[in-house]
Structure 1
Amino acid sequence: MWIIIQFGLAAILLLFSTLAAWYEGSAILDNPLEWKHSTPFSQMMYGQVHSKSHISQLDYFVYSAKFHPFFPIIMAISSLYLLILIGYYFLKPQNKKFACFLFILGGGLFLLGCFFMDSTTTGGKIFFYIWLVSGSLCTATAIITYFQVLNHNPRR
């Protein structure tokens, strides 16, 4: 029952923070000087962005993460929490698989942090550290969980 409550609260927090980040990111429409630097999704679809109508909704999140990172940070943390909670729910009875899940997730978070390593914006730097710390915590938890399984199961 407790896991359902956690899942519900995290999902509500994710939904609220997503809507807030989307709203804050819509400010990119009024900032044409940032269109070249903050519209990677639109540039993939249309090439160079010349008008507001060519800006993808996904680019709102990019702009928000760069210049108003509070809600995108809440989005990232609640998404990560939900992902770990789902992995825990389905893989906890099989501790080795849960440890492998956390190890792979930690590696993915480190990799994600590499995209933000050289960021010049405050939001980018914050996301670099979030992915770095989250990856470290997932990896450390995976190692601890794995060795606890080995110590409790001497037959391996």
Structure 2
Amino acid sequence: MTDFNFIEGGIVIFSFIIQFGLTIILLLFSTAVAWYEGSAILDHPWEWKYSTSFSHMLHGEVHSNSDISQLDYFVYAAKFQPTFPVIMVISSLYLLVLIGYYFLNQHYKRFAYFLSILAGVLFLLSYFFIHSPITGGQVFFYIWIVSGILCTVTAVIIYFQGFNRNTKKEV
């Protein structure tokens, strides 16, 4: 019986490592492509006023290519070519939930609370993009609102399944 638990535990760890590794690779790939796509901001100086929020915080007014922060590449890509930034967000969320599940799966209430907090953050992020006139902003609004709803529903299910599991043990 101990051997079976050892093998089962090894399979769980192996599964986690595979999922973690593939998600990290996807995250790194999508980050690199989004960064590359966002570098097009250097060729569009009329967009510097609207898409260089990080540069404005760091340098004030943007006057040349050298004033543009690398983070603004992601802002530009998210606004005008949101495919890879969306993949970045989804893979980051999956990685966050995977890590939370790995460390909190024995404590169902804590994992449910973790998902609830994550849902709150996602709802807050979606609020900032609710009236975005740009396609990328609208896409991120829907990604964050749907992810927040999924986290909330999952948290409720996990919480009450764990609650039912504990009450059945007591009977």
TM norm. shorter chain > 0.5: yes
Describe the SS at the equivalent of 1:48: coil
Seq. identity, %: 68
> Is 2:27 aligned against 1:28?
no
Quote the residue 1:103 is aligned against: 116
Larger fraction in helix:
2
Q: Secondary structure at the match of 2:49?
A: coil
Q: Which of 63-72 and 116-125 deviates more?
A: 116-125
Structure 1 equivalent of residue 32 of structure 2: 19
Task: Provide the C-alpha distance between the structure 2 equivalents of 1:151 and 1:92, rounded to a whole number of angstroms.
Answer: 16
Specify the code of the residue in structure 2 equivalent to 1:116: F
- Which consecutive segments of 4 or more residues in structure 1 shift more than 4 A? none
Residue 45 of structure 1 aligns with an amino acid whose one-letter code is L
- 1:76 aligned to 2:84? no
Q: How many residues align?
A: 155
Counterpart selection for 2:61 from 33, 39, 48: 48
Q: Match of 1:87?
A: 100
1:6 matched to 2:6? The reply is no
* Bigger Rg, which one: 2
In the alignment, structure 1 residue 64 sits paired with structure 2 residue 77: yes
Give the gaps of 5 or more residues in structure 2: 1-13
**CA RMSD of the aligned region, Å?**
0.8
- Counterpart residue number, 1:37: 50
Q: CA deviation at 1:81?
A: 0.4
How far has the Cα of 1:87 moved from its partner? Answer: 0.2
Whichever residue aligns with residue 78 of structure 1, its letter is S
| TM-score where L is the length of structure 2 | 0.89
Partner in structure 2 of residue 134 of structure 1: 147
Shift of 1:91: 0.3
The question of 1:114 aligning with 2:130 is answered no
User: 1:119 Cα shift?
Assistant: 1.0
Gaps of 5+ in 1: none
Structure 2 Cα separation of the partners of residues 22 and 116 of structure 1: 21
User: What is the CA distance between 1:12 and its match in structure 2?
Assistant: 0.1
* 1:94-132 per-position Cα deviation (integer Å, ceiling 9, x unaligned): 110000000000010000111111111111100000000
1:61 Cα deviation after fit: 0.1
Q: CA deviation at 1:48?
A: 1.5
